[in-house]
Protein backbone atom coordinates (compact mmCIF):
# COMPACT_ATOMS: atom_id res chain seq x y z
CA UNK A 1 0.00 0.00 0.00
CA UNK A 2 1.60 3.25 -1.10
CA UNK A 3 1.29 6.33 1.10
CA UNK A 4 1.21 8.36 -2.14
CA UNK A 5 -1.97 6.60 -3.36
CA UNK A 6 -4.60 9.09 -4.56
CA UNK A 7 -7.64 9.77 -2.41
CA UNK A 8 -9.89 8.16 -5.06
CA UNK A 9 -7.69 5.04 -5.23
CA UNK A 10 -7.61 4.83 -1.43
CA UNK A 11 -11.42 5.00 -1.26
CA UNK A 12 -11.71 2.37 -4.00
CA UNK A 13 -9.31 0.11 -2.09
CA UNK A 14 -11.40 0.42 1.10
CA UNK A 15 -14.63 -0.25 -0.78
CA UNK A 16 -13.14 -3.56 -1.97
CA UNK A 17 -12.60 -4.69 1.63
CA UNK A 18 -15.19 -6.03 4.08
CA UNK A 19 -17.00 -3.49 6.25
CA UNK A 20 -15.61 -2.51 9.65
CA UNK A 21 -18.47 -4.39 11.27
CA UNK A 22 -17.75 -7.60 9.32
CA UNK A 23 -14.01 -7.26 9.91
CA UNK A 24 -14.61 -6.85 13.64
CA UNK A 25 -16.71 -10.02 13.75
CA UNK A 26 -14.05 -11.92 11.83
CA UNK A 27 -11.19 -10.70 14.04
CA UNK A 28 -13.07 -11.66 17.20
CA UNK A 29 -13.95 -15.09 15.79
CA UNK A 30 -10.32 -15.66 14.80
CA UNK A 31 -9.08 -14.72 18.27
CA UNK A 32 -11.65 -17.03 19.87
CA UNK A 33 -10.46 -19.91 17.67
CA UNK A 34 -6.85 -19.14 18.55
CA UNK A 35 -7.63 -19.08 22.25
CA UNK A 36 -9.17 -22.50 21.78
CA UNK A 37 -5.74 -23.75 20.69
CA UNK A 38 -4.32 -22.70 24.05
CA UNK A 39 -7.28 -24.15 25.93
CA UNK A 40 -6.48 -27.47 24.25
CA UNK A 41 -2.66 -27.46 24.32
CA UNK A 42 -1.89 -25.25 27.32
CA UNK A 43 -4.87 -25.67 29.68
CA UNK A 44 -2.97 -24.15 32.62
CA UNK A 45 -3.02 -20.73 30.96
CA UNK A 46 -5.83 -18.65 32.47
CA UNK A 47 -6.95 -15.67 30.41
CA UNK A 48 -7.69 -12.29 32.02
CA UNK A 49 -10.64 -11.64 29.68
CA UNK A 50 -13.61 -13.95 29.44
CA UNK A 51 -13.58 -13.60 25.65
CA UNK A 52 -11.82 -11.56 22.96
CA UNK A 53 -12.95 -7.95 22.66
CA UNK A 54 -12.37 -4.77 20.70
CA UNK A 55 -10.26 -2.50 22.90
CA UNK A 56 -9.86 0.57 20.71
CA UNK A 57 -10.41 2.05 17.28
CA UNK A 58 -9.13 5.11 15.57
CA UNK A 59 -8.09 6.94 12.46
CA UNK A 60 -6.38 4.89 9.78
CA UNK A 61 -2.77 5.23 8.71
CA UNK A 62 -1.83 6.78 5.37
CA UNK A 63 -3.07 6.68 2.68
CA UNK A 64 -6.48 6.24 4.36
CA UNK A 65 -6.25 8.84 7.14
CA UNK A 66 -8.47 11.43 5.43
CA UNK A 67 -11.31 9.08 4.51
CA UNK A 68 -14.39 9.67 6.63
CA UNK A 69 -16.03 6.61 8.21
CA UNK A 70 -12.80 4.60 7.89
CA UNK A 71 -11.23 3.19 11.04
CA UNK A 72 -8.84 0.53 12.17
CA UNK A 73 -9.42 -1.32 15.41
CA UNK A 74 -7.41 -3.22 17.97
CA UNK A 75 -8.81 -6.49 19.27
CA UNK A 76 -7.39 -8.53 22.13
CA UNK A 77 -7.86 -11.96 23.61
CA UNK A 78 -6.49 -10.62 26.87
CA UNK A 79 -3.40 -12.18 28.36
CA UNK A 80 -2.65 -15.26 30.36
CA UNK A 81 -0.01 -15.54 33.05
CA UNK A 82 2.80 -17.79 31.92
CA UNK A 83 4.02 -19.15 28.62
CA UNK A 84 2.94 -21.94 26.32
CA UNK A 85 4.71 -25.16 27.40
CA UNK A 86 7.75 -25.71 25.18
CA UNK A 87 6.62 -29.23 24.24
CA UNK A 88 3.26 -27.88 23.00
CA UNK A 89 4.68 -24.89 21.13
CA UNK A 90 5.36 -26.43 17.68
CA UNK A 91 1.78 -27.70 17.40
CA UNK A 92 0.30 -24.50 18.85
CA UNK A 93 2.33 -22.34 16.46
CA UNK A 94 1.19 -24.32 13.42
CA UNK A 95 -2.44 -24.19 14.52
CA UNK A 96 -2.22 -20.41 15.04
CA UNK A 97 -0.74 -19.99 11.56
CA UNK A 98 -3.44 -22.23 10.03
CA UNK A 99 -6.27 -20.35 11.75
CA UNK A 100 -4.83 -16.98 10.72
CA UNK A 101 -4.61 -18.17 7.10
CA UNK A 102 -8.35 -18.98 7.11
CA UNK A 103 -8.94 -15.27 7.78
CA UNK A 104 -6.49 -14.02 5.16
CA UNK A 105 -3.44 -13.53 7.40
CA UNK A 106 -0.69 -15.45 5.63
CA UNK A 107 2.57 -13.47 5.89
CA UNK A 108 4.34 -14.98 8.92
CA UNK A 109 7.16 -13.10 10.64
CA UNK A 110 8.74 -15.05 13.47
CA UNK A 111 10.44 -12.42 15.62
CA UNK A 112 11.64 -14.68 18.46
CA UNK A 113 11.53 -18.43 19.00
CA UNK A 114 13.28 -19.35 22.23
CA UNK A 115 11.90 -21.43 25.10
CA UNK A 116 9.14 -19.42 26.78
CA UNK A 117 10.10 -16.35 24.75
CA UNK A 118 8.30 -16.38 21.43
CA UNK A 119 6.86 -13.62 19.27
CA UNK A 120 5.11 -13.91 15.93
CA UNK A 121 3.28 -11.45 13.73
CA UNK A 122 1.11 -12.63 10.86
CA UNK A 123 0.09 -10.01 8.31
CA UNK A 124 -2.79 -9.99 5.86
CA UNK A 125 -0.58 -8.30 3.24
CA UNK A 126 -2.51 -5.05 3.66
CA UNK A 127 -2.35 -3.22 6.97
CA UNK A 128 -3.62 -5.79 9.47
CA UNK A 129 -1.59 -8.04 11.78
CA UNK A 130 -2.13 -10.81 14.29
CA UNK A 131 0.38 -10.63 17.13
CA UNK A 132 1.30 -13.42 19.53
CA UNK A 133 3.88 -13.29 22.30
CA UNK A 134 4.65 -15.33 25.40
CA UNK A 135 7.56 -13.84 27.29
CA UNK A 136 6.32 -13.96 30.89
CA UNK A 137 2.67 -13.65 29.88
CA UNK A 138 0.91 -14.99 26.80
CA UNK A 139 -0.68 -12.29 24.64
CA UNK A 140 -2.79 -12.50 21.52
CA UNK A 141 -4.13 -9.51 19.57
CA UNK A 142 -5.18 -8.23 16.16
CA UNK A 143 -4.35 -4.80 14.80
CA UNK A 144 -7.11 -4.62 12.24
CA UNK A 145 -6.97 -3.32 8.70
CA UNK A 146 -8.43 0.04 7.82
CA UNK A 147 -12.09 -0.61 6.97
CA UNK A 148 -15.15 1.48 6.12
CA UNK A 149 -18.18 1.36 8.37
CA UNK A 150 -21.28 -0.20 6.80
CA UNK A 151 -23.16 3.10 6.72
CA UNK A 152 -20.38 4.82 4.73
CA UNK A 153 -21.38 5.92 1.27
CA UNK A 154 -19.15 7.22 -1.48
CA UNK A 155 -19.06 11.00 -1.63
CA UNK A 156 -20.81 11.48 1.73
CA UNK A 157 -18.24 12.78 4.22
CA UNK A 158 -20.59 12.29 7.17
CA UNK A 159 -20.39 8.55 6.58
CA UNK A 160 -24.11 8.02 6.60
Examine the pLDDT at 19 and tell me if it is beyond 90.
Answer: yes
127 part of a folded domain: yes
54 part of a folded domain: yes
38 part of a folded domain: yes
What is the C-alpha to C-alpha distance for residues 145 and 129, in angstroms, rounded to an integer?
A: 8
74 part of a folded domain: yes
43 part of a folded domain: yes
pLDDT band at 42 (very low <50, low <70, confident <90, very high): very high
Q: What is the pLDDT of residues 107-151, one digit of tens each?
A: 999 999 999 899 999 999 999 999 999 998 999 999 999 999 998
Examine the pLDDT at 156 and tell me if it is beyond 90.
Answer: no
| Domain limits for position 142 | 7-148
100 part of a folded domain: yes
140 part of a folded domain: yes
Nearest to 107 by CA among 119, 120, 118: 120
The CATH number that applies at residue 117 is: 3.30.2030.20
Q: What is the pLDDT of residues 76-115, one digit of tens each?
A: 998 999 999 999 999 999 999 999 999 999 999 999 999 9
pTM above 0.85, yes or no: yes
157 part of a folded domain: no
Q: Is 77 left (phi over 0), alpha (psi -120 to 50) or beta?
A: alpha
SS (H, E, C) 26-90: HHHHHHHHHHHHHHHHCCCCCECCCCCEEEEEECCCCCCCCCCCEEEEEEEEEEEECCCCCCCHH
Number of domains the chain contains:
1
What does each C-alpha distance from 17 to 28, 99, 152 come to in angstroms? 17, 20, 13
Q: What is the pLDDT of residues 45-55, one digit of tens each?
A: 999 999 999 99
pLDDT band at 153 (very low <50, low <70, confident <90, very high): low
| Per-residue pLDDT at 158 | 36
Amino acid sequence: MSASMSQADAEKELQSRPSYEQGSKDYLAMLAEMRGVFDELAPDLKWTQKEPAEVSSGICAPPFQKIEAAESGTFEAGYAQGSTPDAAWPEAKQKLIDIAAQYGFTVVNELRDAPQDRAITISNGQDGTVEFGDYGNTTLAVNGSCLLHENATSGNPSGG
